[in-house]
Structure formats: C-alpha cells, structure tokens
Amino acid sequence: MPRKDTKIKIKEVALKLFNRDGFVNVRLQHISDVCGLSLGNIGYHFRTKNDILYALFSDFVEEQKLLLSEFRVLPLFEDFNRFLNSNFELQKRYVFFYKDALDLTRLYENISKQYREHLTWQELQLQGMLVFNEARGALDSKGNQDFVQKMSSLLVWASESWISRQAVTGAEELDKSSYLEMVWFLLKPYFTDTGIEEFENRVIIHEL
C-alpha cells in the first residue's frame, strides 16, 4: 500500500474505534490489530495515539472550514440550512470529539487552543451571515446592539454542544430534524415577513 494510503487507513480505523469506544479506551494495539499493520509500521506514521488525534482534529477543522467557506458568499436561509445539514453529518462523522470535547480540550493544550480559534472563526462567519441577512431584509434585530455578537455566539454553542446535550439527556439517536429545528428556533423570532416566507418555502427541516 502506498505510504499516503496507509496513513489514511490508520486515521479511518482510529476514527471508527474512537467513535465506537471513546478516545481514552482505544489503544494503539487495537488500531494496529484492526488495520492489520504492525505497531512499528503504525509508529512510522504516527508516533503516539495523540498524534492520530491531532491529525483527525485537523482534518475535522479543515472540513468544517470548507463547509463554512462554501456558504459564506451569499448566505440565504437555504444556504445556511444546507450548511447546517453538512455540519450535522460532520459532527456525526467525528462524534467522539463532540462526546469528549471537554475532556480532550482539557487534556491537550494544543487541541484546546485550536478548538477555541475554530469556535471564534465560526462565530465570525456566522456574524457575516447575520449582517447580510439583516441588510437584505430577512432578519430584523430591532435595534438590539448586541444581536450579531450574541446570536453568533449562541448559534455556534448550540450547534457545537448539540451532541453532548443529546448524550446527557439520553436521546437514543442523533436526529437531524431536531438539530435543525433547534438552531432555527433561535433565529425565528428575528425573521421579517420576507424571512418567514423564505423560511417556509425554501428551508427543509423534515425530509420526506
């Protein structure tokens, strides 16, 4: 197998095991068993389990950045909803990180730093979305000076903490419609008539 493919395979197997068993419960030995690679071979690509974690975390951040960049040019409601859909799939793909986010950011200083920067970056993207939608008359903050800053922070938090909320409240499955409904519920009171119409006609929460 070419070197690059081996690296990708190790990451994929590790991600699967982390998601299933939780990061702390997986040992390099498990990863090596499932990959069918020797520990030495794995060590050639990743010195420690933490190095795999860092690589996965970087992939995750890059993927989420890509999603946000795609939607930021003209973020109509339907674009925001499409972003939320993809973001939901991404969270599910890296579910171990969301279940263990607090632990991982507490244990690993560089993950913590990178995650904070990433949260701030997300807030900035969403601020652009809010300003744009107020300017085009789909949202109305009714003169609330803090609206853009507070709403962006709330949207990011609500979205990022959704999986751990599901875990604490004991929801069995990660249901996309509930996630979308929750995020839109935060924005709805600020819809103008244009916003309401656009939301009702263009935003699909419950797929048929």
Identify which of residues 120 and 201 has a Cβ nearer to a second copy in the complex.
Answer: 120
Q: Which is nearer to a second copy, 32 or 87 (CB)?
A: 87
For the CB of residue 48, give the shortest distance to a second copy in the complex, in Å. Answer: 22
DSSP string, 25-57: G--HHHHHHHHT--HHHHHHH-SSHHHHHHHHH
**Cα–Cα distance, 74 to 110 (Å, whole number):** 33
Q: Can you name the residues that pair with 104 across neighbouring β-strands? A: none
Smallest separation (angstroms) from a second copy to the CB of 41: 33
Cβ nearer to a second copy, comparing 88 with 147: 147
Nearest distance in Å: CB 37, a second copy = 31
CB 99 within 8 A of CB 194: no
Closest CA to 111 of 52, 57, 51: 57
- Per CB under 8 A, residues contacting a second copy are 99, 101-103, 105-106, 112, 115-116, 119, 142, 144, 146, 150, 154, 157-158, 161, 164-165, 167-170, 181-182, 185-186, 188-190
Token code pair at residue 199: 């939301």
CB of 109 to a second copy, least distance (A): 11
Nearest one of 24, 20, 30, 182 to 92, comparing CA atoms:
20
C-beta closer to a second copy: residue 61 or 182:
182
